[in-house]
Structure 1
Amino acid sequence: MPETGSATTVKTVRELLDELAGLEDPKVRAVNERHGDDHGVNLSKLRAIAKRLKTQQELAVGLWATGDTAARLLTLLVCRPKAFEEGELDAMMRDARAPKVQDWLVNYVVKKSPHAEALRVVWLGDKDPVVAGAGWALTADRVVKKPEGLDLAGLLDVVEAEMRGAPDRLQWAMNTCLAQIGIVHPEYRARAVAIGERLGVLKDYPTSAGCTSPYAPVWIAEMVRRRGRES
């Protein structure tokens, strides 16, 4: 990413780091650290700062460069997604090690970028499971919104062969893609359910009351039921 371009931006970055440090809550940090996120800022308060700042691309670049997790989350709320080059987004994903930063980068920035499809293709088979997981997350999104040209049968082949042994974050993204194929594409539903049942991935995942299990066969059945009720 480019260097920050003005003394004003640098000063504001420092001021914002101080503000974020002042919002640090040990209880919030303890919860976040259980999920791999090294920050203790309440996300509602972080979003309030972003709302105040509005879109500021130069500031966003400066915040990202600090390497601070809370600052990087703020980056992803105040940046201009279409302003990033493909190589910048690739570098950001490879440098983003906190799960929440990875998720927000994909959902708030990459999905809105004109480079989303190119990055999806590059990331899908990456050796880094976090980067590959981002590729599968983008693929799941395309399964729902723009499936034309996707080899859905081929995706199911890869899921069937590789999902059970995949690292957690990659496994989660592959499972999401499996479920979305089964939900959105009736012609592949029976196979998607069968793969989910055979692999058993996330079958015992703890699910709060009122929430849908991420276990693909249950997830598919529930979403299809809801769609039928709404149609």
Structure 2
Amino acid sequence: MAQTTTVAGSTVAEVMAELAALEDPKARAINARHGDDHGVNLSKLRAVAKRLKAQQDLAPELWQTGDTAARLVAILIYQPQALERDELDAMLREARIPKVHDWLVNYVVKKSKHAGELRVVWFADPDPVVASAGWALTSDRVVKDPDGLDIPGLLDTIEAEMKDAPERLQWAMNTCLAQIGITHPEYRDRAIDIGERLEVLKDYPAPPNCTSPFAPIWITEMVGRQHTTEHAASH
């Protein structure tokens, strides 16, 4: 529950009251479609976090409230390097709301010194939501630091398991498939072939001006953009 002790100038109760005042029923309805149970505009939420940034002691207290908006603020003000491996593991296992899970992985875990170890632990976890975090970290490695990764093995696993995987895990596997195809030309044909045969997210309604998450389209679109950029740079 909200606390009333002052922490470096702000209290948890004050922050919770501020977030409650920013609550927008329309935003909550939109977020609910994606499984997110909060109604605070993310730009306004980021503004709250920006003001609180220096108050590190506040982050764990906001996280402990269990409130989604408060946890998103906490994620934005945590210092990733200050968190221990077991703390990050416990937080990830508590993070069942999609936005909290995504932000925790992208804004905290990826910047932590424990990311590599947690990637391996989570990747093999029987909980599909936890495993999806392992796949997200693996996608990051595929793009930024592929040395030592068994990419053919990843493709084998995706080919065997993605079609029937639970939604969050399936999405993470699909992202990894697309990133392999985009960033590793030697595996591109196989990645596109797997995507075409499994048809995962083939009919996903992509908004206007957004690339489809269907891997063959995603790969082809991004590679085409790379070639256009390279061509422009060479002239």
Superposition TM-score tier, normalisation by shorter sequence: over 0.9
- Alignment of 1:223 with 2:222, yes or no, is yes
Q: Which residue of 2 aligns with 1:121?
A: 120
State the Cα distance separating 1:51 from its structure 2 match: 1.4
Q: Which residue of 2 aligns with 1:88?
A: 87
- Given that residues 55 and 80 in structure 1 are in contact (C-alpha distance below 8 angstroms), is that contact kept between their aligned partners in structure 2? no
Identity within the alignment, %: 70
1:77 maps to amino acid: L
Q: What stretches of structure 1 move > 2 A for 4+ residues in a row?
A: none
CA deviation string 1:51-90 (max 9, x = no partner): 1112332110110011000000000111111111000000
Task: Note the residue ranges of structure 2 that are not aligned, 5 or more in a row.
Answer: 231-235
Q: Which residue of 2 aligns with 1:3?
A: none
- Alignment of 1:194 with 2:174, yes or no, is no
Q: Distance in 1 between matches of 2:70 and 2:179?
A: 32
Q: Which residue of 2 aligns with 1:76?
A: 75
- Alignment of 1:157 with 2:156, yes or no, is yes
Q: Between Structure 1 and Structure 2, how many residues are aligned? A: 226
State the Cα distance separating 1:230 from its structure 2 match: 0.8
Equivalent position SS for 1:8: coil
- Given that residues 12 and 62 in structure 2 are in contact (C-alpha distance below 8 angstroms), is that contact kept between their aligned partners in structure 1? yes
Q: Distance in 2 between matches of 1:56 and 1:174?
A: 36
Q: Distance in 2 between matches of 1:100 and 1:74?
A: 12
- Given that residues 20 and 71 in structure 1 are in contact (C-alpha distance below 8 angstroms), is that contact kept between their aligned partners in structure 2? yes
State the Cα distance separating 1:208 from its structure 2 match: 1.5
- Given that residues 94 and 131 in structure 1 are in contact (C-alpha distance below 8 angstroms), is that contact kept between their aligned partners in structure 2? yes
- Alignment of 1:13 with 2:12, yes or no, is yes
Equivalent position SS for 2:11: helix
- Given that residues 71 and 100 in structure 2 are in contact (C-alpha distance below 8 angstroms), is that contact kept between their aligned partners in structure 1? yes
Q: Distance in 2 between matches of 1:137 and 1:210?
A: 24
Q: Which residue of 1 aligns with 2:57?
A: 58
Q: Distance in 1 between matches of 2:145 and 2:177?
A: 16
2:28 maps to amino acid: R
- Given that residues 122 and 133 in structure 2 are in contact (C-alpha distance below 8 angstroms), is that contact kept between their aligned partners in structure 1? yes
State the Cα distance separating 1:38 from its structure 2 match: 0.8
2:6 maps to amino acid: T
Superposed counterparts of 1:135-154, under 5 Å: 135-154=134-153
Equivalent position SS for 2:7: helix
State the Cα distance separating 1:152 from its structure 2 match: 0.1
1:230 maps to amino acid: T
RMSD, aligned α-carbons: 1.2
- Given that residues 27 and 41 in structure 2 are in contact (C-alpha distance below 8 angstroms), is that contact kept between their aligned partners in structure 1? yes
CA deviation string 1:160-210 (max 9, x = no partner): 000000011100000000000010000000100000000000000001221
2:162 maps to amino acid: M
Equivalent position SS for 1:214: coil
Query: Could you state the TM-score of these two structures normalised by the residue count of structure 2?
Result: 0.94
Q: Distance in 2 between matches of 1:14 and 1:69?
A: 15
State the Cα distance separating 1:9 from its structure 2 match: 2.2
- Given that residues 55 and 79 in structure 1 are in contact (C-alpha distance below 8 angstroms), is that contact kept between their aligned partners in structure 2? no
CA deviation string 1:80-121 (max 9, x = no partner): 111110000000010011100000000000000000000000
Superposed counterparts of 1:20-31, under 5 Å: 20-31=19-30
State the Cα distance separating 1:34 from its structure 2 match: 1.1
Equivalent position SS for 2:6: helix
